[in-house]
Amino acid sequence: MKPVRALAGGGPASQPLYKEVKGRITRSLIAGEWKPGAAIPSESRLAAQFQVSVGTIRKAIDELVAEKIVIRQQGRGTFVTIHTEDRQFYYFFHIVSKDGGKEPPAHELLSLKTTKADTETAARLGLKPGERVHCVHNVLKLARRPVIFDELRIAAARFPDLNAASFGAREGTIYGLYQARYGINVVRISERLSAALPPARVSRVLGVSATSPVLMIKRVAYTYHDEPVELRTSWVNTQSHEYLSDIWKNEPR
């Protein structure tokens, strides 16, 4: 069988065909061609469209599935992942009760301000110094008690007309809001944890003394192509909750 290489354009095949296909699909995702929750074209249709075999399409989608960018369902199709789904939510949410109880989380918006980015924020978010960012303070309650204090920063340019009303009235998660309202899909996060004493405000909001240790988490959230989207610092009262890191139960497929 002679290779077709309709995509590589007869080039030196610098990268495998399925990687090329994966990149094309990802670019369509970025362009918003297929909305979160919607089905992407079937494997046979994509194969016809790209002039490659179904196996090659499958291998490209295999990787997108492994990266949790799409989800496959036998008999139904392949869908762009949604962050409002419980499974996706808990994928990025690692705080669990020490006694194993599962409580529905409730959130409360404390403040939303727009300011100029400081140098560290600008560097980490890939912004020009002085560019405007939204700064949000948020509390998360588990079993009716405040457990997590979040301070997050996002580029104002990416999230126009974000305001306290739309933020506080959201259904589901913050990343669900990014996705539904701004078409921004968080696909990966990186977190750095340390133990610290809570700043005064955190201590007040979480109801812990200023001398009792809390868990501090600095997170960067990324969208496609490792583009940083959000910077977040969380303080967690680990009196009755803890951070769970499973490395891992990555049951393939």
Partner DNA sequence: TTCGATTTGTTCGTATGTATT
Partner DNA sequence: TAATACATACGAACAAATCGA
Q: Choose the stretch contacting a copy of itself; rule: CB under 8 A; options: 25-33, 38-46, 141-149, 187-195.
A: 187-195
Nearer to DNA, 24 or 107 (CB): 24
| CB hemisphere CA count around 176 (13 angstroms) | 20
Give the 3-state secondary structure of residue 114: strand
Contacts of 182 (CB under 8 A, 6+ apart): 158, 159
Question: Does 157 sit near DNA (CB under 7 A)?
Answer: no
CA 241/CA 146 separation, integer angstroms:
11
CA 201/CA 22 separation, integer angstroms:
46
Enumerate residues 70-129 that contact DNA by CB under 7 A.
72-78
Q: Give the Cβ contact number of residue 162 at 10 Å.
A: 19
My answer on whether omega of the bond before 235 falls inside 30° of 0, hence cis, is no
CA 234/CA 150 separation, integer angstroms:
4
Q: How far is the CB of 33 from a copy of itself (least distance, A)?
A: 23
Q: Choose the stretch contacting a copy of itself; rule: CB under 8 A; options: 74-82, 106-114, 130-138, 183-191.
A: 183-191
For residues 175 and 86, is the Cβ–Cβ distance under 8 A?
no
- Helix (H) or strand (E) holding 160, with range, is none
Give the 3-state secondary structure of residue 175: helix
Q: Are strands 214-223 and 227-236 parallel, antiparallel or unpaired?
A: antiparallel
Enumerate residues 62-81 that contact a copy of itself by CB under 8 A.
62-63, 66-67
Residue of 14, 74, 119, 194 interacting with a copy of itself (CB under 8 A): 194
For residues 125 and 231, is the Cβ–Cβ distance under 8 A?
yes
Q: Are strands 132-142 and 106-116 parallel, antiparallel or unpaired?
A: antiparallel
Nearer to a copy of itself, 84 or 238 (CB): 238
Q: How far is the CB of 246 from DNA (least distance, A)?
A: 23
Q: How far is the CB of 14 from a copy of itself (least distance, A)?
A: 16
Q: Which does 43 bind (CB under 5 to 8 A by kind): DNA, a copy of itself, none?
A: DNA
Q: Choose the stretch contacting a copy of itself; rule: CB under 8 A; options: 29-37, 134-142, 176-184, 207-215.
A: 207-215
Site mask for DNA (CB under 7 A), range 42-71, x = bound: xxxx------xxxxx-xx------------
Nearer to DNA, 45 or 225 (CB): 45
Sites of contact with DNA (CB under 7 A): 1-5, 13, 16-19, 39-40, 42-45, 52-56, 58-59, 72-78, 253
Residues near a copy of itself (CB under 8 A) are 62-63, 66-67, 91-92, 94, 96, 98, 188-197, 211, 213-216, 236, 238, 241-250, 252-253
